[in-house]
Amino acid sequence: MTSLNLSADEVLTTTRSVRKRLDFDKPVERSVVEECLNIAMQAPTGSNSQGWHFVIVEDADKKKAIADIYRDGWNKYATLQGPTYAEGDTRGERRDKVVDSASYLAENLERAPLFLIPCIEGRLDNLPVVGGAGSWGSLLPAVWSFMLAARNRGLGSAWTTLHLMGDGEKRAADILGIPFDKVTQGGLFPIAYTVGTDFKLAKRQPLADVLHWDSW
């Protein structure tokens, strides 16, 4: 697989949540996904536990079933009142575009060549903060590393969690044979090559608004 040869800073600052620019018609080779996952597994893991598991879904019927669960979550989420932002806040200015992009993904999710569902051993329901932070800290760095590696190979994805709403996680576990009582799902990632590879820095709040030295 040909790399885009992006610098570390370029990969870190241009890995976006890709929805409308996913190429649904171009197949994704298993070897490329496995290459990215091997890189992902070099991420830090608490107590060297390496309790991660990665479920790749390529079967069309299973993708459709998982996408239906996701749409159930999206339909509920879309009715919720989102946060409000002050005039001039870029988050508020981009809200309509974000909603439109998310709606497009919900409508077309199963068209992605592959899904990735990352999992972590153990049920994280009702864990104390220290336990939850340690467990998620052993999975999320690996998943972000996967997204970075995918970006450098011309692949895109989006970190979604809406299939986990309500009984969605259990329904997805039943479809995919994931042992629900022993394993927690961390998200749902469509995987596809991107239409074009030029992605820009996102607009973010000023660092001064979120930086705290020594006290809040």
Per-residue pLDDT 10s for the chain (216 aa) are 579 999 999 999 999 999 999 999 999 999 999 999 999 999 999 899 999 999 999 999 999 999 999 999 999 999 987 788 888 787 877 778 888 999 999 999 999 999 999 999 999 998 999 999 999 999 999 999 999 999 999 999 999 999 999 999 999 999 999 999 999 999 999 999 999 999 999 999 999 999 999 999
Q: Is residue 213 part of a domain?
A: no
Does some domain include residue 39? Answer: yes
Domain count, the chain: 1
Q: Is residue 206 part of a domain?
A: no
The answer to the question of residue 184 being in a domain is yes
Asked whether residue 211 is assigned to any structural domain, the reply reads no
In a domain, 121, yes or no: yes
* pLDDT value, residue 81: 76
> Strand 189-194 and strand 155-156: pairing?
antiparallel
Task: Please report the pLDDT score of residue 128 as a whole number.
Answer: 95
CATH of the domain at 146: 3.40.109.10
The answer to whether position 138 is within a domain reads: yes
Given this model, what pLDDT does residue 95 score? 77
1 located within any domain: no
pLDDT at 1: 58
The range of the structural domain enclosing residue 17 comes to: 10-79+91-195
